[in-house]
Amino acid sequence: MPIVNADVAAVFNEIADLLEVQGANVFRVRAYRNAARMLSELGRSVKTLLDQGEDLDKLPGIGPDLAGKIREVVTTGTCAQLERLRQELPPAITELLRIPGLGPKRVRALHQELGIQTMEQLHHAALQGQVRAVHGFGPKTEQSLLQATAARFQEGHRFKLIMAAQVAQALLAELAAVPGVQQAVAAGSLRRQRETVGDLDLLVSTRRGSPVMERFTGSPDVGQVLSRGRTRASVVLKNGLQVDLRAVAPASFGSAWLYFTGSKAHNIALRKLAQDAGLKLNEYGVYRGDERIAGDTEASVYQALGLAFIAPELREDRGEIDAARSHRLPALVQLPDLRGDLHAHTRDSDGRDSLEAMAEAARARGLQYLAITDHAQRIAVVHGLDADRLARQIDRIDALNASLSGMVLLKGVEVEILEDGSLALPHALLQRLDLVVGAVHQRFDLPRDRQTERLLRAMEHPCFSILAHPTGRLIDERPACDIDLPRMIRKARERGCFLELNAHPARLDLTDLACRMARDEGVLVSIASDAHSTLELNNLSFGVGQARRGWLEPQDVLNTRTLQALRPLLDRTMSRSAGMPGHTAVAEQAPATPGIQ
């Protein structure tokens, strides 16, 4: 079980967090965060690159110092700098950084002014009304922190989907190479493409006598062995992720895979269905009396129960069983269905690659078009485009399209939705674009009615195509804005604009349930990578997983259209007439902060 890219990224993110808590140089902090983000999205294993003797400082944003630290983490699981920082700061302080609403600057303020080092201390201070007295906090923030810490005490730590996927990929490759193993697959919430994973469920089909359990529990990357038997074992890896492994005979593989994939509610509903038919269903198969009538494949299990095969992403007991019985299951969208990507950034704003590089990377992935939607100048993004720089980029895209073959760059922008609902660029400039992506990046804490009205008014702008990451949440870091989502979806239908499913694994916003609501209202969803580099175009696969959980079919997704079919849809969102009064503004300039906004 080798160190995977997500492990190295986690080390670099923790270094960045601790440096920022200490008040270190912002560029030093940003270097670690950028490196962590690049490693998370890198399509190749850094361990494999090292084993092949490749030079890591050729990777984007990686110099000799960071390359050396990557090698150190791959070799030892940590690095000396991280251990030094851990010695210099209270050991539990990084837990505070995982609380929504607390960034390093706020953690530093709480530590310096109230001596807070742990989640328990923060909870007690909030109960006593002490947090509101700290500069930058107030009664509302204090109440939010009180609720967040209380919720933390009631739930276990969960891992983002991207990290669980990387760990699973490495583990399955190791397990598949063990003698006697015929198949090795992921199950559980990872297979169902849940946004976060509490523990990792793996399943192997083996011949009798395979040493797979001994190999699994004996790995040096295992921090603790919770249990080990002939057919099952549970361990906690050194990165804190619990992994459960089951071994089954080939005749029971399909039934076991279905059982351990879940969800619990789906499995209970299937067992009841079997009982009603006079059958018995368990992890070993489907039985009529003592005779096993199905179980070697999942399809055989569903067929024995009178059901069509149900995709793993749908197995949440949300109507999928009735749909399978009556042959009404959706033909879910797949990654090859996507013809393009409608949200990507270049180094003209806060991206890391050029227009040309992004176009070539999109074409290499089989995409026909890519919308360049660099950030307009605003408070929270480094080097955002002002009106003059955006106008020059428009001209450069036109010139580049004249030389591209098999790929078209669409002219767009990610423009800030200001607090009053206006957009932070002049209407005359927006009219020159193919599409406008509107987004909120500040004042996430507005009351429900004001936040909703803000977005509704933005969607009324004569040039407004797509609402980006509609709720503004960052998984495990920032809660969703309090908005009237059904009202937002109905507004999008009336206006003829679209909602984004942001595929970045820290966002996955819209949620699966919101995607289903949009589908039911006839609002098309854009599955967008929000790529800030060529590597991050791979985010699209996570977005497709979320869309499948939301029952979306290809026709429900905006960017499954060919460019010829897409253009009229975008054109209808872009008025070429004079602007509407009150719907233009100039973005305020202020110091920028790094990271996902």
For tokens 């509609």, what's the residue? 470
Distant-in-sequence, close-in-space partners of 325: CB < 8 Å, separation ≥ 6: 306, 307
> Tokens representing 155?
């739930």
- The answer to whether the beta carbons of residues 425 and 393 sit under 8 Å apart is no
Beta bridge partners of 298: none
Q: Give the span between the Cα atoms of 55 and 30, in whole angstroms.
A: 22
In tens digits, what is the pLDDT along the chain, a chain of 597 residues?
567 888 888 889 889 888 888 888 888 888 998 898 888 878 788 888 888 888 888 888 888 999 999 999 888 888 899 888 887 877 667 777 777 777 788 888 888 888 887 777 888 888 888 888 888 888 888 888 888 777 666 556 788 999 899 899 989 999 999 999 999 999 999 999 999 998 999 999 998 889 999 999 988 788 899 999 999 999 998 888 899 999 999 999 999 999 999 999 999 999 999 999 999 999 999 999 999 999 999 999 999 999 999 999 999 999 999 999 999 999 999 999 999 999 999 999 989 899 999 999 999 999 999 999 999 876 445 578 888 999 999 999 999 999 999 899 999 999 999 999 999 999 999 999 999 999 999 889 899 999 999 999 999 999 999 999 999 998 877 888 999 999 999 999 999 999 999 999 999 999 999 999 999 999 999 999 999 999 999 999 999 999 999 999 999 999 999 999 999 999 999 986 544 443 433 333 333 333 455
> Tokens representing 256?
């076991």
Question: 160-325 in CATH: which number?
Answer: 3.30.460.10
Q: Where are the domains of the chain?
A: 5-154, 160-325, 338-571
Model's pTM, two decimal places? 0.80
Q: Give the span between the Cα atoms of 339 and 573, in whole angstroms.
A: 20
- The answer to whether the beta carbons of residues 522 and 556 sit under 8 Å apart is no
**Collapsed DSSP state (helix, strand, coil) of residue 267:** helix
Residue 51, exposed/middle/buried by CB under 10 A (0-12, 13-18, 19+)?
Answer: exposed
> Tokens representing 67?
């390359």
- The answer to whether the beta carbons of residues 295 and 252 sit under 8 Å apart is yes
Angle, alpha carbons 222-223-227 (nearest 5°): 75
Q: Give the span between the Cα atoms of 420 and 417, in whole angstroms.
A: 8
Verify cis geometry, omega within 30 degrees of 0, for the bond prior to 45.
Answer: no
344: left (phi > 0), else alpha (psi -120 to 50), else beta? Answer: beta
Over pLDDT 70: what percentage of the chain?
Answer: 93
Please state the CATH superfamily assignment of the domain spanning residues 338-571 in this structure: Metal-dependent hydrolases (3.20.20.140)
**Domain 5-154 falls in which CATH fold?**
DNA polymerase; domain 1 (1.10.150)
